[in-house]
Amino acid sequence: MDIIECARLLGKTLQQDERYLRLKKATEVNDADEKLQEMINAFNMKRIEINQEVQKTEKNGDRMMQLDSEFKQLYQDIMSTPLMVEYNAAKQEMDEALTFVNQIIIGSVNGEDPDTIEPMEMGCGGNCASCQGCH
């Protein structure tokens, strides 16, 4: 089996993994929830409104502060819904699994024994140059 066939098999295996299935379900539930989609639409419209205000030659500081406050509140409202809490938890779990898979692949390419590679503790040092991805 060549590496492309192995990658395709890995992809199929990932799609059967409980973490993938949890994320897929959370995505589908979120996409089907009308209230959440209305909130996301309002958030996107507020972003457009902010961009339009920024483009104006005569800026209204009070208006910008109001829009910013509304934007942040919409974001908070969306992110605190049980559906988004579940989605973010599922996404983080899947991202962590993919990060570990990537660590195994990169470690193997660098000559490490794939059977002995363990997940690295992730921490943000502020410099993204050596980052494996935010979590």
What confidence tens digit (pLDDT) does each residue in 78-99 have?
A: 999 999 999 999 999 999 999 9
- For the chain, list residues with pLDDT below 50: 135
**Distance between CA atoms of residues 87 and 35, nearest Å:** 15
| pTM of the predicted protein model | 0.79
Give me the long-range contacts of 95-102 (CB less than 8 A, separation at least 24): 95/133, 95/135, 96/135, 97/17, 97/19, 98/14, 99/132, 99/133, 99/135, 101/10, 101/14, 102/132
Half-sphere exposure of 51 (CA within 13 A, CB side): 6
CA-nearest of 36, 43, 35 to 73 is 43
In a domain, 13, yes or no: no
In a domain, 113, yes or no: no
Residue 125: per-residue pLDDT: 54
In a domain, 71, yes or no: yes
In a domain, 27, yes or no: yes
In a domain, 55, yes or no: yes
Residue 129: per-residue pLDDT: 60
Task: Tell me the residue range of the domain where 63 lies.
Answer: 18-102
In a domain, 25, yes or no: yes
In a domain, 132, yes or no: no
Residue 121: per-residue pLDDT: 72
Q: Count the domains in the chain.
A: 1
Residue 19: per-residue pLDDT: 98
